[in-house]
Chain A
């Protein structure tokens, strides 16, 4: 019976993710897009849970649904001071882009259908954090630290970029 439940869960979550994602890229109002983006991310977090990746799901909710979306919302506010209703227009490329992404989806789907997976019969341990921690802080400690530095640098760079520029071009 568990199979059925997980299948139903998958279908529902997929519907949620894809539907909200479609809304994200089609809505005219950018603020609405951002709100639906939160829904999408939460849906993806659900998918992660379905895949027994609870830590990643938590990070997904925290970073994406929380931090990133809020940041984007602030970005929208900072740049879009007039009315929001038509803030996200479509350009001429959608006519080509729509069949392109359709084709891409079909091709990937066909290739996936043909693929034969060597599925490991084992299960993901239930305690993912305990297993992730040694990997992240021992085996991958250098990439981990580099990622930390990357984040610091990126955010410092962002700060420098958005700093108010005076009329004489002086950045201080």
Chain B
């Protein structure tokens, strides 16, 4: 079984793709059949992925020498593109995680989407989404990855805009698509550069060639540019500043979609890509710093926005942006293992929280404002307590999963700082402060939603078992998923690492700091939002620091800035181009047409209708051409058969 799975890893993305085709062409009229097909496919993928994981993680050989097999896809003279499978611990971990979260989300969706007229379509999209993400994960070369990457983008477009009757959903889908396109364009440029310079997009081959980039005749500066171009793709996809704007709006889709996009698949694709191409970034310290700073800044930036948001899914969305920033920070300071570890734990607790939020929205009939909720834990105990586990995990309270990965990131950042990068202290400070903020805003949300006084107008009820089951499984992983990477027994960094495995001594001080920050955040939230029943103090605070509050509530006006930019710069440019089009381009066309018309009007008098005149002109021309050919140019006489 294990050997079969290893040799047929391509089946993992293929099965959901097959499910997509089956649903679209066959089972669409029967919703239950569709969802069964879809879940069966993704569950088979999950079983396969588990076997692969077992195979890879029990065999240390795969760590140094990944399993790779590929076929020729297309090619031409001196250029071949292969399509293949690359299995190393990183991709195996992703395969396992993505297929599992996707399977849980699909199970959850059977409850959440119950009775939706587009039920089958929804499952076909979910299948396609899972297929493209799994395909991205196992890709052995960057072009294949890019294709899957775009497919992921397409699926996110379809799913965010799933409620096509909602204008805001349609707009959000467009926004997501276009914003990520900006990033993809940069990335495509980067890939083209790589192909042109190194002559391959194969990951293993590139990993061998890039360190010797000087032999390929390029300078460090150009390599930095390439790395940054490639990084623009993940900026768009993983919602890093300044292309994060699509991500919160993507909440317009159905909640399972939000969970899928924001926890397991789309947004982590960017982090995964950076992880995959870390050999490129590792060569250029400049690009690494960019990655680290964008990551750290995004983390802090999004966390401050999340402080004041009111919609439950929006808070989670900004928290996702913030956590993705963490992952980027970890990669930026050179630790693949910490970044991937956080990706792993985050996938579980964030999926858990999104699904929990979905459960709440389901119960409250899509009332999204946390201030209108309260005391839900009494009526919805499973949702509530699993959500609390998620909150503890993200706040970094041991032994929950988030603690270990966050601690790992803080540790590597500190290590980076102490190893001669003085700017690393800034990064470290940003990261720690973000950790505090994260705990605070998460628990603000939890206290407001699940604790406190019940609102009489709400009539919540616990969700069906199909929805609570995934919550419980995910809560289990959010609790225990981090134990494979504790500093005392760090299996994780033994398996997944870039360069030398990380052998940091467990730093008790750092852990204490981390725990203290988490507890402080939760405590502060407790004081403001639980003890203070009328929430007077926070209202006073908001009054006193009105400007700050407004800036945060309005997300630093980034959307408005972009809107202003489009309205003024882009529209003005468009006006100029419009003028150019009307007067110059159309002018040329009209001029040509006019010239034809006028010249035709003049020339038509040559058409006398008298046959003999035509013959006369014809033979005059024959005479002239013959003379020119025969006597004008000595070499051309041969055309007419004339002599030498």
User: Chain A: residues with CB nearer than 8 A to chain B?
Assistant: 91, 93, 96-97, 100-101, 103-104, 107, 110-111, 114-116
Q: From residue 588 to 644 of chain B, which have CB atoms closer than 8 A to chain A? A: 612-613, 616, 619-620, 622-623, 626-627, 630, 637, 640-644
Contacts of A101 in B (CB 8 A): 619
Q: Tell me the complex Cα distance, A103–B643, Å.
A: 19
Q: Tell me the complex Cα distance, A58–B644, Å.
A: 39
Q: Tell me the complex Cα distance, A138–B504, Å.
A: 98
- Are the C-beta atoms of A100 and B642 separated by less than 8 Å? no
Nearest chain A CB to B631 CB, angstrom units? 8
Given contacts A93-B613, A93-B616, A107-B627, 14 further A-B contacts (CB under 8 A): A91-B612, A93-B612, A96-B620, A100-B620, A103-B623, A103-B627, A104-B622, A104-B626, A107-B623, A107-B630, A111-B626, A111-B640, A111-B642, A115-B643
Q: Tell me the complex Cα distance, A110–B623, Å.
A: 13
Q: Tell me the complex Cα distance, A100–B623, Å.
A: 8
Contacts of A110 in B (CB 8 A): 630
Contacts of B627 in A (CB 8 A): 103, 107
Majority-rule SS of A interface residues:
helix
Q: A91-B612, A93-B612, A111-B630 are in contact. Are A104 and B623 (CB under 8 A)?
A: yes
Q: Tell me the complex Cα distance, A96–B643, Å.
A: 30
Contacts of B616 in A (CB 8 A): 93, 96-97, 100
Q: Tell me the complex Cα distance, A85–B623, Å.
A: 34
Q: Tell me the complex Cα distance, A115–B637, Å.
A: 10
Chain B residue with the shortest CB-CB distance to A101: B619
Our pick among B622, B626, B643 for the contact of A114 (Cβ within 8 Å) is B643
Our pick among A104, A114, A116 for the contact of B619 (Cβ within 8 Å) is A104
Chain B residue with the shortest CB-CB distance to A104: B623
Nearest chain B CB to A94 CB, angstrom units? 10
- Are the C-beta atoms of A100 and B626 separated by less than 8 Å? no
Chain A residue with the shortest CB-CB distance to B626: A107
- Are the C-beta atoms of A114 and B642 separated by less than 8 Å? yes
Contacts of A107 in B (CB 8 A): 623, 626-627, 630
Q: Tell me the complex Cα distance, A111–B642, Å.
A: 6
Contacts of B643 in A (CB 8 A): 114-116
Q: List 17 A-B contacts (CB under 8 A).
A: A91-B612, A93-B613, A93-B616, A100-B619, A103-B627, A104-B619, A104-B622, A104-B623, A107-B623, A107-B627, A110-B630, A111-B626, A111-B630, A111-B641, A114-B637, A114-B643, A116-B643
Q: Tell me the complex Cα distance, A116–B637, Å.
A: 13
Chain B residue with the shortest CB-CB distance to A91: B612
- Are the C-beta atoms of B641 and A115 separated by less than 8 Å? yes
Nearest chain B CB to A18 CB, angstrom units? 19
Q: How many A-B residue pairs have CB under 8 A?
A: 36
Nearest chain A CB to B629 CB, angstrom units? 10
Contacts of A97 in B (CB 8 A): 616
Contacts of B622 in A (CB 8 A): 104
Q: Tell me the complex Cα distance, A150–B142, Å.
A: 67
10 shortest interchain CB distances as A-B pairs = A114-B643, A114-B642, A111-B642, A103-B623, A116-B643, A107-B626, A104-B623, A93-B616, A115-B643, A111-B630
Contacts of B642 in A (CB 8 A): 111, 114-115
Interface centre among B620, B623, B627, B637, by most chain A C-beta atoms within 10 angstroms, is B623
Q: Tell me the complex Cα distance, A104–B623, Å.
A: 6
Q: Tell me the complex Cα distance, A100–B640, Å.
A: 19
Q: Tell me the complex Cα distance, A115–B642, Å.
A: 5
Contacts of B623 in A (CB 8 A): 100, 103-104, 107
Q: Tell me the complex Cα distance, A101–B619, Å.
A: 9
Nearest chain B CB to A99 CB, angstrom units? 10
Q: Tell me the complex Cα distance, A103–B624, Å.
A: 10
Q: Tell me the complex Cα distance, A101–B626, Å.
A: 13
Contacts of B619 in A (CB 8 A): 100-101, 104
Contacts of A103 in B (CB 8 A): 623, 627
Chain B residue with the shortest CB-CB distance to A108: B626
Q: Tell me the complex Cα distance, A32–B627, Å.
A: 36
Chain B residue with the shortest CB-CB distance to A107: B626
Contacts of A104 in B (CB 8 A): 619, 622-623, 626
Nearest chain B CB to A138 CB, angstrom units? 31
Contacts of B626 in A (CB 8 A): 104, 107, 111
Chain B residue with the shortest CB-CB distance to A103: B623
Chain B residue with the shortest CB-CB distance to A116: B643
Nearest chain A CB to B622 CB, angstrom units? 7
Nearest chain B CB to A31 CB, angstrom units? 22
Q: Tell me the complex Cα distance, A151–B68, Å.
A: 76
Chain A residue with the shortest CB-CB distance to B612: A93
Nearest chain A CB to B613 CB, angstrom units? 7
Q: Tell me the complex Cα distance, A127–B625, Å.
A: 42
Q: Tell me the complex Cα distance, A58–B640, Å.
A: 33
Contacts of A115 in B (CB 8 A): 641-643
Nearest chain A CB to B642 CB, angstrom units? 5
Contacts of B630 in A (CB 8 A): 107, 110-111
Nearest chain A CB to B611 CB, angstrom units? 11
Chain B residue with the shortest CB-CB distance to A110: B630
Q: Tell me the complex Cα distance, A34–B515, Å.
A: 122
Contacts of A116 in B (CB 8 A): 643-644
Chain B residue with the shortest CB-CB distance to A96: B616
Q: Tell me the complex Cα distance, A107–B626, Å.
A: 8
Nearest chain A CB to B406 CB, angstrom units? 90
Chain A residue with the shortest CB-CB distance to B622: A104
Contacts of B612 in A (CB 8 A): 91, 93
Q: Tell me the complex Cα distance, A110–B641, Å.
A: 12
Chain A residue with the shortest CB-CB distance to B643: A114
Q: Tell me the complex Cα distance, A110–B627, Å.
A: 10
Chain B residue with the shortest CB-CB distance to A97: B616
Q: Tell me the complex Cα distance, A104–B626, Å.
A: 9
Nearest chain A CB to B15 CB, angstrom units? 63
Q: Tell me the complex Cα distance, A116–B622, Å.
A: 23
Nearest chain A CB to B610 CB, angstrom units? 9
Q: Tell me the complex Cα distance, A107–B637, Å.
A: 12
Chain A residue with the shortest CB-CB distance to B630: A111
Contacts of B641 in A (CB 8 A): 111, 115
Nearest chain A CB to B153 CB, angstrom units? 63
Interface centre among A103, A104, A111, A116, by most chain B C-beta atoms within 10 angstroms, is A111
Nearest chain A CB to B579 CB, angstrom units? 53
Interface centre among A101, A107, A116, by most chain B C-beta atoms within 10 angstroms, is A107
Q: Tell me the complex Cα distance, A101–B618, Å.
A: 12
Q: Tell me the complex Cα distance, A115–B640, Å.
A: 10
Nearest chain B CB to A114 CB, angstrom units? 4
Q: Tell me the complex Cα distance, A103–B625, Å.
A: 12
Q: Tell me the complex Cα distance, A103–B641, Å.
A: 19
Nearest chain B CB to A90 CB, angstrom units? 11
Contacts of A96 in B (CB 8 A): 616, 620
Contacts of B637 in A (CB 8 A): 114
Q: Tell me the complex Cα distance, A103–B612, Å.
A: 18
Contacts of A91 in B (CB 8 A): 612
Nearest chain A CB to B425 CB, angstrom units? 93
Chain B residue with the shortest CB-CB distance to A114: B643
Q: Tell me the complex Cα distance, A97–B615, Å.
A: 10
Contacts of B644 in A (CB 8 A): 116
Nearest chain A CB to B628 CB, angstrom units? 11
Q: Tell me the complex Cα distance, A91–B619, Å.
A: 17
Nearest chain B CB to A104 CB, angstrom units? 5
